[in-house]
Amino acid sequence: MWPSSRIANLDKSIDDWVLFDLPRIAVLRLGHRPSRDKRITTHVCLVARAFGAEGVFISGVRDESIHSTIQKVMDAWGGDFWVEFVGSPMKVLDKWKASGGVVAHLTMYGIPVKQVKDMIPSDRDLLVIVGGEKVPAQYYEKADFNVAIGNQPHSEVAALAIFLDRMTGGAWEGMPFKNARLRIVPSERGKNVEQY
């Protein structure tokens, strides 16, 4: 589980919020194809942002519409999230490991998250790889952990959410986002949004 410092400042105002001494979490999304994957990759990015990652590397076909969609969300809802298209995803993996980070690849063929979670170091930067249907064998070999969010076929979007939930100990709940223009006031019925 992630250090509790991630949620240490919940009592303070959002401006005082500091994520101190925390390992970074980033996501590497493999093989984006604009025609087929636009919305899935957008959901991967939004889930990464909402569940505590700092950004997403995307490999495959460069797709500026992802950038602009995420930028619009950040303009409204805040945070310092980034999206970066990369030509060589394997280089991202290699560099991440070379600088001391740990790499977890989400795959239905891997070890169930319940069994593997406590083996993943929580004090090192974490790169989470989410693929498509055909992930080259090299990723299975080079990843420190091949993690299954269940051994049934479902969704890389759901897998990422559950994995980040487990790895951050649910710290995403109530996590504030800096410089938000809109903020939701939770409501039993209807919509209540504050503007700043």
4-33 positions binding its own copies, by CB under 8 A = none
Determine, following the binding rule CB under 8 A, whether residue 134 of this chain makes contact with its own copies: no
Determine, following the binding rule CB under 8 A, whether residue 67 of this chain makes contact with its own copies: no
Binder of its own copies out of 157, 167, 168, 171 (CB under 8 A): 157
Determine, following the binding rule CB under 8 A, whether residue 56 of this chain makes contact with its own copies: no
Q: DSSP of the chain, one letter per residue?
A: ---GGGGTTTTS-GGG---TTPPPEEEEEEEE-HHHHHHHHHHHHHHHHHTT--EEEEEES--HHHHHHHHHHHHHH----EEEEES-HHHHHHHHHHTT-EEEEEEEEEEEHHHHGGGS-SSS-EEEEE--S---HHHHHHSSEEEESSSS---HHHHHHHHHHHHTTTTTTT---TT-SEEE---SSS--EEE-
The one segment of 12-20, 57-65, 124-132, 171-179 that binds its own copies by CB under 8 A:
171-179
Residue 131 CB, nearest approach to its own copies (Å)? 12
Contact predicate 54/156, CB 8 Å: no
Say if residue 154 carries a ligand binding annotation: yes
Nearer to its own copies, 92 or 161 (CB): 161
Residue 73 CB, nearest approach to its own copies (Å)? 6
- The annotated binding site is made up of 106, 131-135, 149-156
List contacts with its own copies (CB under 8 A). Answer: 36-37, 39-40, 43, 46-47, 49-51, 73, 77, 108-115, 137, 140-141, 146, 148, 150-155, 157-158, 160-162, 165, 170, 172-175, 177, 183-184, 186-193
